[in-house]
Amino acid sequence: MFTQVYTPIAGSVGWSALIAVIPILYFFVALVGLRMRAHLAAFTTVILAILDAWVIFRFPVDKAVSASVYGMFTGLWPIGWIVFSAVFLYRITVNTGHFDIIRSSISGLSQDRRIQALLIAFSFGAFLEGTAGFGTPVAVAAAMLAGLGFNPMYAAGICLLANTAPVAFGAVGIPITAMATATSSDPLLISQMVGRILPFASLIVPFWLMIVMAGWRGMREVFPAALTCGLSFAATQFLISNFVGPELPDIAAAIVSIVCLVVLLRFWRPKTVWRFPDETAPQRSSETSSSGPSAGQVLRAWSPFLVLSLFIVLWALPSVKDLLAAATVLVNWPDLHLKVAEAAPIVNQVTPVAAQWKFDSLAATGTSILFTAIVTKFILRQAWRDWFRTLAETFASLIYPLLTIAFVVGFGYLFNYSGMAATIAMALAATGALFPFFAPFLGWLGVFLTGSDTSSDLLFGNLQKLTALQLGLSPYLTMGANSAGGVMGKMISPQSIAVGTSATGLVGREGDLYRFTLKHSIALVVLVAVISTLYAYVFSGAVPR
């Protein structure tokens, strides 16, 4: 039995914390300063963290390796499995040509650039975030806007700004489910906390987009559309995240906001059709076009994502969960399960920590998405040969992202089992009453440097939890603040900036796009910090426990 040591350097929490953060600092420098590829940066960080844990924190090297590998397996299942199956489903719609119909059904509703931005950048981008995530919304939505004639800088910048509120529930809720897995927490309670923070941003962002595009006057002209879009999205996001779980808020909210905006457009139109000042001849109005897809074609194109919603709801039913759980296998992880113990002041008495890897082959959310992909093959009439080719293409494209996820989770698990995360948490607890305000900034910094709310939650989720416990706060407040604050760093992440410039032909102008988004990112994370502080000290009864 190894008992965690929290102050290995001269009995000082401060100095010990400084040594503990070395692997984190290295990871950030490797990504941003050295521009190392993400999977290589994560792998070398794991090696450095093992050395740090062994030499400084006295964590036996065999247990350090075991904890890292345990985290890698968890990164691949269930986290990587969700990512793979979600992207696979998205690729099926692309390869069968039905994604073009989805795109046409949205872009053909109005020629006003502001309305198109609400439909595509905000609502449809949120839908893509909810189903695929991991850069898909910015890449696809920005390319769509640029194809419609948007100024490329605005096409990329608006999509980056819009891709904020949905990110915490992206890729079928993977950031929250990943943090819940890594911190042994209840994913529904994390979902509830995030769902009580982000709807405020969801309501504001559509108006923010309109002001960025057309100024205050231009925003006032489309006030009904921005209000309809933001209010319907925020309300649905709140309800689904609080009463269903983290998997469906984006998908449901995006569909509801699109439907509400489409209904509004049947009875209301902006007085003027707004376009960018540098645009020349307007495009032919799609309202008069007779060559668009039929209602049946649109329904078929959207059907994979409707089926996905049904399968996820089905998988969440208690009776179905119990049935599918019969195939679950639990593995007591070698040289780790109940062989590492937490100690005071993290816990009241020495407590062994469990380390069980769960292989829920049927009950996993990723499996429900795979079943959706199988049903989709028949709905979209895709040949089995093409279906398996799409499967192979998806795997080939995700090898390095999956490796990155595995190494990042491995690093996070090593941090937790070695006690290094607890040491940093003890140091952060010294901020006392100010910590609820700074908690979102930790998530924001993590997403800025890693490009992923999932990675940020995995890196800092347990630290947020431990710090909250040290301060007597609900850990779900700080974990939720980490995820909610993190999404505001998405628009300035180097990876996101690169995706945006690549999709809109702006390669080489990354600095310009960064300057476009920076002030908005800072303003929004401050908003989340204020909301988090209010929940901590004014509306504490609304915090899940």
Q: Provide the 3-class DSSP secondary structure of residue 476.
A: helix
- pLDDT tens digits, 215-259: 999 999 999 999 999 999 999 999 999 999 998 899 999 999 999
Q: What is the reported pTM? A: 0.76
Is the predicted pLDDT of residue 329 greater than 50, yes or no?
yes
Listed in sequence order, the residues at least 6 apart from 329 whose beta carbon sits closer than 8 Å to its beta carbon are 358, 359, 360, 361
Residue 341 pairs with which residues in a beta bridge? 3, 352
- pLDDT tens digits, 402-426: 888 888 888 888 988 999 988 888 8
Q: Do 438 and 485 form a contact (C-beta atoms < 8 A)?
A: no
For the chain, percent of residues with pLDDT exceeding 70:
96
**Given this model, what pLDDT does residue 284 score?**
43
**Given this model, what pLDDT does residue 331 score?**
95
What single-letter DSSP state applies at residue 31? Answer: I
**Are β-strands 2-3 and 329-332 bridged in parallel, bridged antiparallel, or unpaired?**
unpaired
Mean pLDDT of 126-142: 78
What's the per-residue H, E or C state across 117-160?
HHHHHHHHHHHHHHHCCCCHHHHHHHHHHHHHCCCHHHHHHHHH
Backbone angles phi, psi at 248, to 5 degrees: -110, -5
Is the predicted pLDDT of residue 267 greater than 50, yes or no?
yes
Q: Assign 3-state DSSP to the chain and report helix, strand, coil percentages, each to 5.
A: 75, 5, 20
Q: How confident is the model at residue 158 (pLDDT cuts 50, 70, 90)?
A: very high
What is the rounded CA–CA span in Å between residue 415 and residue 201?
A: 32
What single-letter DSSP state applies at residue 79? Answer: I
Spacing of C-alpha 269 from chain mean position: 33
| Rg (the chain; Cα; Å) | 23
Q: Transcribe 187-202 into DSSP letters.
A: HHHHHHHHTTTHHHHH
Tell me which residue has tokens 């929004």: 524
What is the rounded CA–CA span in Å between residue 128 and residue 68?
A: 32
Is the predicted pLDDT of residue 366 greater than 90, yes or no?
no
Query: Hey, what are 528's tokens?
Result: 């989340």
Where are the domains positioned within the chain? Answer: 2-272+297-542
Listed in sequence order, the residues at least 6 apart from 457 whose beta carbon sits closer than 8 Å to its beta carbon are 175, 176, 178, 179, 182, 443, 446, 479, 482, 483, 486
Q: Transcribe 199-235 into DSSP letters.
A: HHHHHHHHHHHHHHHHHHHHHHHTHHHHHHHHHHHHH
Q: How confident is the model at residue 508 (pLDDT cuts 50, 70, 90)?
A: low
Sheet holding 2-3, edge to edge: 2-3, 340-342, 351-352
**Given this model, what pLDDT does residue 172 score?**
81
Q: Do 423 and 467 form a contact (C-beta atoms < 8 A)?
A: no
Axis-axis angle for helices 295-316, 249-267 (nearest 10)? 150
**Are β-strands 340-342 and 2-3 bridged in parallel, bridged antiparallel, or unpaired?**
parallel
Report the range of poorest mean pLDDT among 43-52, 180-189, 281-290, 484-493. Answer: 281-290
Side chain identity at residue 330, one-letter code: L
What single-letter DSSP state applies at residue 30? Answer: I
Mean pLDDT of 307-323: 85
Is the predicted pLDDT of residue 107 greater than 80, yes or no?
no
Is the predicted pLDDT of residue 263 greater than 90, yes or no?
yes
Q: Provide the 3-class DSSP secondary structure of residue 352.
A: strand
Mean pLDDT of 147-171: 87
H helical segments located in 268-294: none
DSSP E strands in 385-498: the ranges are: none
Count helices and strands (H / E) in the chain.
25, 5
Q: Mean pLDDT over all residues of the chain? A: 88
Helix (H) or strand (E) holding 3: strand 2-3
DSSP E strands in 242-325: the ranges are: none
